[in-house]
Chain A
Amino acid sequence: MARYLIGRLGLMLLTMACASFLVFAVCEFTPGSVARKSLGPFATQQQVQLLMEKLKANDPLMVRYGRWLGVLLGLIPDPLQDPGTGLNFTDWRGKQYFGNFGYSTLNKLPVNDIIWERLGNTALLGGIAFLLIIPFSILFGVLSGLKEGGGLDRSLSVICITFTSIPEFASGVFLVTLFVILWPLLPGTSPLNTDAGWSLPSQLVLPVAVLVVYDFGYVARMIRVSMIGVMEKPYIRTALLKGMSTRQVVLGHALRNAMIAPFTVLLLQINFLISGVVVTELVFAYPGFGRLILEASLFGDVATIEAATLITVAIAVTTQFIGDLGYVLLDPRVRIS
């Protein structure tokens, strides 16, 4: 087990190193210098040059990557915090510490000051959505997979496919029109403050609804296919012939086996719910992680993109690990050694 864990951890670090370098390299090829973006369109070329020098953005790619890595690991102090640069950049955590994601050129703040709150907001949104997606998708998937081609299967399939096919921005606008403008029951945006008199739970209803509507149908379809496969197995027929009720067969024999394949799909939804919810966040002005990544990417804010990449890689590897543990529980034939 310990060897397995160490192997996993090593793999995660390797993935992170590759991903972070790739991000650096890709940012290199996007047009537009960070200094120009910071100073805006009306700065003179000379002002841009001066800022490029201050940000040390003229150094070769490998030098900048090495420096970024050194700052992250706490091996060297962040050179941008040097008062001599005139950037006015300070981090209350200090110049040199492990996990220093550096200076966000977009927000002119330490990345650590912004990214965690945004991640927390998105985790809240995604977490609630995930908790609703699981029961809905299992219920719909199992019910329609019980009897392939039956009336129930057909009607549930129509619902699932329709919902999954509606893009988030469309369902968002549709729900806002219904519940904000026609029947003013819910707030139209979710800035996550209660100043305007709308409670926090009320602000989460519509964004969560959009995510659940978009995502549960897809997972339900996966579960349905797996369920159909299981229901054709001889041991199910035996159980039915034995005179067990459908309910007993499903809960006792089919469900656990039908969940093995969709389990991965479900866990993959966590990754989607952390970094892929940008559309929902935009529609509802939700201060989340996806919007931060989008803005940072458009701006070329390497420090923020790198931090976001490392966090999403860590989440992806962790969910994969949980997935492996889950297989052990679901399928006794699988062993971790």
Chain B
Amino acid sequence: MEDRPHPYVRTLIEQVNEGTISRRDFLRKATLLGVSAATAYSLVGMVEPSRTAKAQTVPKGGNLRIGMRCMEIKDPHLADFAEKSNVIRQVCEYLTFTDRHNITHPYLLEKWEVSDDLKTWTLHVRKDVKWHSGRQLNADDVVWNLKRVCDPAIGSSMLGLFTGYLVEEYETGEKDDKGNPKKSSRLWSDKAIEKVDDSTVRLNASTPQIAVAEHLFHYPMFILDPQQNGSFGPAANGTGPFELVEYTVGKSAKYKARTDYWGDGPHLATFEFVDLGDSPGAGIAAMASKQVDGLSEADAVQINSMKAFPHVAVYKVETTQTIVARMHPEVEQFKDKRVRQAMRHAIDRDKIIQTVLLGAGTPAEDHHVAPSHPEYAALPKYGRDVEKAKKLLADAGYPNGFEYDMVTRPDPIWELNTAQAVAEQFKDIGVKVNIKSLPSAQYWEVWTEAPFSLTAWGHRPLAIMTLGLAYRSNAAWNESHYNNPEFDRLLTQAEGILDPKERSKVMAKIEAIMQDDGPIVQPFWRVFSTVMDKKVKGFELHPSQYIFAHQYGVEA
């Protein structure tokens, strides 16, 4: 790749030198286009945070226990929680790796190349990777995995992510009970996913797509051994650093280190996840009696009670995890955009962050683009303005406000607490919100259908990923039923622009549309936190709650 870098890389270098884009922006863009992280860092005169230097300080041997839910796992391509992916992640791996700074690196890939039109992606598979069974990883394995997640019968959420550039929806010709035509999905072309040779795979996209490398790190996108046909358990064959020895749902997952792992590590001899259930107190108690050496996640309340323990270290990382109160614009009360604007002016973000997150958050701006996203464009900020909100409501025909049900779920507890905090603040402009809290499983059944709901959105390294999934007309996860042709047009335009300067001009328009007409009230971005025993070395908190046990060690 370095012998023929993407033509745009030169423009990027010029822009760094002119000072028009930051070095962080450069790193992110250049690595997306297939430049290796080491080269990208050196191009702008920075030293890559070296993994080898860290490895020397990580102690060898020992056992590490981390407290985390151990849920059912039948098929890794169906993983739908970070916890499930963490259990699999130690055994099976991804083609790419997005680090905690949102920079994506090749992983099971040696490198990738992108065509100038961003439609043809050539993936070069590493030749030194061996399955636990001893066989070498090859292009056939990769093709099998990529095609498998595109099969609707499998049920992987990768299908939604690939829809639009690798996968297309079509009408089957049958009708459902209501007489609507039944839809299904298929690869848009026979050549969409194509084997070039034993170690090369080519993706031929129907439309330009810049986030391919990030998509390949989306948590269900594990590379599995085709011979095992998608099953997972103690006999699972992976390319990863550990082998799973024992797995008991609701109890624990136990691993043994591989001695023939292709990459750095693992430093530990054995590793373990311990299921502590849903009670936040159990995590604290288990840390206190040293039954676990760390937790996969600890919320602000838990951190507060544990920071006094002398053996505990607290870790924090800013994320683009957030929560949105979204309104269906087709509903009578929310039809007028002035009502939606009024809702945005009704809330005091700092107060919500203090009461709900105990300060562990940063204010958001109602457009679902975070300052840490590379395409973020700064717009003028606005605070709480009850008078303005009341006037907007009156102009829209609701001088006395109205009453409405808001659907949410009781756990994690910060979601319900946010619901209560925003409901209190909506009350001040005359909007009485009745909180309907549904158990998680039932909540996910209605999450796209409820006219007014509070929904948490996970961390994603690029804002266009979330905007495309959540707000494009008819997108699979468009829970807010937002439908704005101008927004769609600008988003498609932004997805095809490589120049961060040019793109942020378009993004500024998109963000302005969201603030003016959009369907959401977005109070904050969450700071993600957890705890580890001080004897745990090499631990870095990943914003997606991912655990990479092969990087960690324990002091005896």
Contact = CB atoms under 8 A, between A and B. Distances in A.
User: Is chain B a partner of chain A in the same complex?
Assistant: yes
Contacts of B444: 32, 36-37, 40-41
Contacts, number: 154
Nearest to B176: A49
Interface string B174-201: 0000000011110000000000000000
A41 B183 contact: no
Interface in B291-325: 291-292
Contacts of A292: 250
Interface stretch (B18-26, B134-142, B282-290): B282-290
Contacts of B379: none
Given A31-B445, A299-B441, A285 B155 contact: no
B251 interface: yes
Nearest to B73: A108
B252 interface: yes
Nearest to A48: B155
B155 A39 contact: yes
Contact of A40 (B157, B290, B446): B157
Interface residues of A, number: 55
Interface string B58-97: 0000010100000011110010110000000000000000
Given A43-B157, A46-B183, A282-B282, A189 B291 contact: yes
A298 B288 contact: no
Q: Is the interface of B mostly helix, strand, loop or mixed?
A: loop
Interface stretch (B273-281, B396-404, B420-428, B507-515): B273-281
A139 interface: no
A282 B289 contact: no
B288 A184 contact: yes
Nearest to A284: B282
B160 interface: yes
A47 B285 contact: no
Interface in B440-498: 440-442, 444-447, 476-477
Nearest to A301: B441
A41 B447 contact: yes
B235 interface: no
- Give the one of A181, A189, A292 with max B CB within 10 A: A189
Contacts of B440: 298
Nearest to A113: B249
A43 B27 CA distance: 33
A176 B279 CA distance: 13
Contact of B74 (A36, A108, A118, A193): A108
A187 B184 contact: no
Contacts of A260: none
B445 A36 contact: yes
Interface string A13-35: 00000000000000000111100
B311 to A, nearest CB: 11
Nearest to A300: B441
Interface in B224-252: 229-231, 249-252
A180 interface: yes
Interface in B259-277: 272, 274-277
Contacts of A32: 441-442, 444-446
Nearest to A282: B279
A285 to B, nearest CB: 4
B153 to A, nearest CB: 6
B275 A88 contact: no
Q: Is the interface of A mostly helix, strand, loop or mixed?
A: loop
B184 A46 contact: yes
Contacts of B74: 88, 108
A189 B289 contact: yes
Given A39-B80, A107-B72, A283-B281, A186 B442 contact: no
A329 interface: no
Given A31-B442, A42-B160, A285 B252 contact: no
B273 to A, nearest CB: 11
A180 B289 contact: yes
Contacts of A36: 444-445
Contact of B291 (A41, A173, A187): A187
A270 interface: no
Interface in B340-364: none
Contacts of B288: 176, 180-181, 184, 188
A191 B281 contact: no
B32 interface: no
Contacts of B81: 40
20 contacts: A31-B438, A37-B445, A39-B78, A40-B80, A41-B80, A42-B80, A42-B476, A44-B159, A44-B476, A46-B184, A88-B74, A109-B249, A189-B276, A189-B286, A191-B251, A281-B277, A282-B277, A283-B282, A285-B286, A291-B277
Q: Which 8 pairs between the two chains have the least Cβ-Cβ distance? A: A188-B285, A40-B80, A32-B445, A42-B157, A41-B444, A285-B282, A108-B74, A196-B291
Given A88-B231, A198-B291, 16 more contacts: A31-B445, A32-B445, A41-B444, A42-B157, A42-B477, A44-B152, A88-B230, A118-B250, A172-B281, A187-B285, A187-B289, A189-B286, A191-B276, A195-B63, A282-B279, A285-B277
Interface of A: 30-33, 36-44, 46-47, 50-51, 86, 88, 106-109, 114, 118, 169, 172-173, 176, 180-181, 184, 186-189, 191-193, 195-198, 281-285, 287, 291-292, 295, 298-300
Interface of B: 63, 65, 72-75, 78, 80-81, 152-153, 155, 157, 159-160, 182-185, 229-231, 249-252, 272, 274-279, 281-282, 284-292, 438-442, 444-447, 476-477
